[in-house]
Amino acid sequence: MNRKILLLIALAAATPAAAQPPSFAADGKLQACVDPTFPPMEFIKTAGEAPVGVDIDVIKALAAHWKVDASITTMDFSGLLPGLESKRCDIVISGALLKPERLEKLSGVPYLKT
């Protein structure tokens, strides 16, 4: 995992207020949606197994930090934002760019500068 991402996760973990799960994970669950066709960010290494990659590590780190269970749903990229809007997903961490038209309807946090 990129050192910058690790540093950001470590800094977030050091902040007591950040340890509280956000409202969408207050039930103890974090439902993340990804499109596993974007290696090394997220991909299927072995058919039939769960996705792996940098974004998967970020999802797991957030869940551990918030002390919630993570569940990862895979889908086509075109379904990610509609899945978020329909509450099928709590978060999308899958290479979705923060565009002004997206930010009009959804919240977004830049976590990786490429």
Which CATH number goes with the domain that contains 36? 3.40.190.10
Per the domain annotation, does 1 fall within a domain?
A: no
Enclosing H/E stretch for 43: strand 42-43
Say if 44 falls within a structural domain: yes
Element (H, E) at 49: none
Residue 97 has a pLDDT of: 85
In whole angstroms, what separates CA 6 from the centre of its chain? Answer: 14
Query: What is the C-alpha to C-alpha distance for residues 38 and 77, in angstroms, rounded to an integer?
Result: 10
Full residue range of the structural domain in which residue 46 is found: 26-103
16 within a domain of the structure (yes/no) = no
For the chain, give me the number of helices (H) and strands (E)?
4, 5
Q: What are the tokens at 110?
A: 């830049």
Q: Would residue 6 count as lying in a domain? A: no
15 pLDDT band, cuts 50/70/90, is: low
Structural domain count, the chain: 1
Residue 10 has pLDDT above 60, yes or no: no
DSSP state of 110: -
